[in-house]
Chain A
Amino acid sequence: MTRNPLSKKIIDIQPSGIRKFFDVANEMKDAISLGVGEPDFDTPWRIREEGIFSLEKGRTFYTSNAGLQELRNEICKYLERKIHVSYDPKKETLVTVGGSEAIDVGLRCMLDPGDEVLIPQPCYVSYLPCTVMADGVPVTVPLQHENEFKLTVEDLEKYTTPKTKVLIMPFPNNPTGSVMTKEDLEPVAEFVKEHDLFVLSDEIYSELTYGSEHVSIASLPGMRERTIVINGFSKGFAMTGWRLGFCCGPEVIIEQMVKLHQFAIMCAPTISQYAAVEGLRNCDDEVQEMRKSYDQRRRFLMNEFKRMGLECFEPHGAFYVFPSIREFGMTSEEFATRLLNEEKVAVVPGTAFGDCGEGFLRISYAYSLEDLKEALGRVENFIRRLRGEE
């Protein structure tokens, strides 16, 4: 065969360097994991029950491309209530297959070849390949541990060029757990306006902040018209497998996103959409209870790290902590591989989320306290041994 069936573009996208690690870890069935990026809670029963009811009623048809109108109405009410920004449920709201689809479709709709996208790292793995597939040029912005992995204007200044068009805002952050407060966001928003950029704000963890309410950059003056807010049901509502997300933004962008979504996806799963309506209407208490549990585990982990003398800034969002392992003089991947082999605990090397994650581990606390205790005991054994070796 002489003709290559593949595009240069897809071949050039490097598979994540740690995919091998992921494959090994996922095969190790007897390992305890702290490596999962999804809630340990089942979806609240009233949501599941609504899904079952939808099946019983035979709601097995397509919805309109942009999503069930009833759901879009609830989404807009939800955002109004949570981030105090109003969107038109008819023209400014799109229901997607998870937040991930919104990231992909959003970038495709906004980028022309050569447009640069600022991607603060460490961050979720899809922004960079999605940018490439949309013919954009990904420009990674390494965030600093010293700043608790918050994005600052100094970071932005170093990487912004006349070609920069889009800034990704991945907060609350996977993998660091870092959040941006209103005070942190304000200078960034000023910078964005000054340089006439657009923002893709991935707020999938917005329900999971501890100590302060999530603030969306879209709520700052002059930002609504240049921001796409991406959110979804996976994390806050523990609905990962339902594959349901949404995005809201100015009509001029959403209109085109609906067009692309229509051709690529048709519509998000109907059963999930009906179930999500129930989630937005009646699940505040359940969401709150889950948040409380995560917060307790977060405190537990921070306390354990302190006791072990493991350096870790206190994260206030998502369900991850991002401790430093620089004192052990090995790479994140070496550390994670040895921890997996020697103590059967799976964590994710920080480098899975960008080069600047080197020297860190992502530890998820989407686990029961019992599991966390067992796993942390093993981590402690491991680092004791390492310190003894030195």
Chain B
Amino acid sequence: MNEKKEQLRIEILKYIEKNSRVNLGELAVLLGVEETDVANEMAEMEKEKIICGYHTLIDWDKAGVEMVTALIEVRVTPQRDRGFDRIAERIYNYPEVYAVYLISGSYDLLVTLEGKTLKEVSRFVSEKLSPIDEVLSTATHFILKKYKDHGTIMGAKKESERMLVTP
């Protein structure tokens, strides 16, 4: 890939990471390139799974929807040949699992889970997660408040206090 193309891709990604709803014509203007270039690169990157989706950051709390988010530390025994991948797969295939990360340090996998109630989350841990043979132990932490998520400070909206006109 030539340098210019790579540069454009990075510019596009950086922009849409924060604002995926921008229309292509406008993005082209902002980046100083042709609209077709932006459209082509985005289509290619979608195909290559560089762009994995266009999601929306929601403050469910504000929306009045009860939601429990848990961070679960999981210690596991890695399997021969497959390492952690197979165990991770067994966990991430559950739809209620929001994210699974392999972690360095005192435990192996960090699983984030979204459920409607505490009970639902604890049932998942006791009925699905813990019984997996390779799982040695789990520690569940419930999120009490999200201050910042995906690089965005939740609920932050500040009025400008600048003067209207200055030289």
Q: Which of A227-285 contact B (CB under 8 A)?
A: none
Kindly state whether residue A308 has any CB partner on chain B within 8 Å.
Answer: no
Q: B163 and A36: CB pair below 8 A?
A: yes
Residue interface mask B127-167, A partner, CB < 8 A = 1: 00000000000000000000000000000000010111111
Q: B162 and A36: CB pair below 8 A?
A: yes
- The stretch that binds B, out of A64-72, A131-139, A180-188, A296-304, is A296-304
Q: B164 and A124: CB pair below 8 A?
A: no
Binding site for A on B (CB under 8 A): 26, 29-32, 160, 162-167
Q: A33 and B164: CB pair below 8 A?
A: yes
Q: B165 and A33: CB pair below 8 A?
A: yes
Q: A25 and B164: CB pair below 8 A?
A: yes
Q: Which of A1-57 contact B (CB under 8 A)?
A: 16, 21-22, 25-26, 28-29, 31, 33, 35-38, 40
Q: A348 and B167: CB pair below 8 A?
A: yes
Contact of B164 among A28, A40, A352 (CB under 8 A): A28
Q: A31 and B164: CB pair below 8 A?
A: yes
Contact of B166 among A29, A37, A299, A369 (CB under 8 A): A37
Q: A38 and B162: CB pair below 8 A?
A: yes
Q: Which residue of A lies closest to B26 (CB)?
A: A300
Chain B residue numbers with a CB within 8 Å of A296 are 30-31
Closest-CB distance, A39 to chain B (whole angstroms): 9
Chain B residue numbers with a CB within 8 Å of A174 are 167
Chain A residue numbers with a CB within 8 Å of B32 are 299
Q: B29 and A36: CB pair below 8 A?
A: no
Closest-CB distance, B162 to chain A (whole angstroms): 5
Contact of A36 among B26, B30, B31, B164 (CB under 8 A): B164
Chain A residue numbers with a CB within 8 Å of B162 are 33, 36, 38, 40
Q: Which residue of A lies closest to B167 (CB)?
A: A125
Q: A35 and B166: CB pair below 8 A?
A: yes
Contact of B30 among A22, A26, A125, A299 (CB under 8 A): A299
Q: A124 and B167: CB pair below 8 A?
A: yes
Docked pose: A374 CA to B32 CA in angstroms: 21
Kindly state whether residue A102 has any CB partner on chain B within 8 Å.
Answer: no
Contact of A35 among B26, B29, B31, B164 (CB under 8 A): B164
Chain A residue numbers with a CB within 8 Å of B166 are 35-38
- Give the 6 A-B residue pairs with the shortest CB-CB distance, closest first: A35-B165, A296-B30, A33-B164, A25-B165, A303-B29, A125-B167
Q: B29 and A300: CB pair below 8 A?
A: yes
Q: Which residue of A lies closest to B27 (CB)?
A: A296
Closest-CB distance, B152 to chain A (whole angstroms): 15
Kindly state whether residue A346 has any CB partner on chain B within 8 Å.
Answer: yes
Docked pose: A31 CA to B31 CA in angstroms: 29
Docked pose: A31 CA to B165 CA in angstroms: 11
Chain A residue numbers with a CB within 8 Å of B167 are 16, 22, 37, 124-125, 174, 348, 352-353
Docked pose: A357 CA to B106 CA in angstroms: 66
Q: Which residue of B lies closest to A304 (CB)?
A: B29
Docked pose: A174 CA to B167 CA in angstroms: 9
Closest-CB distance, B148 to chain A (whole angstroms): 12
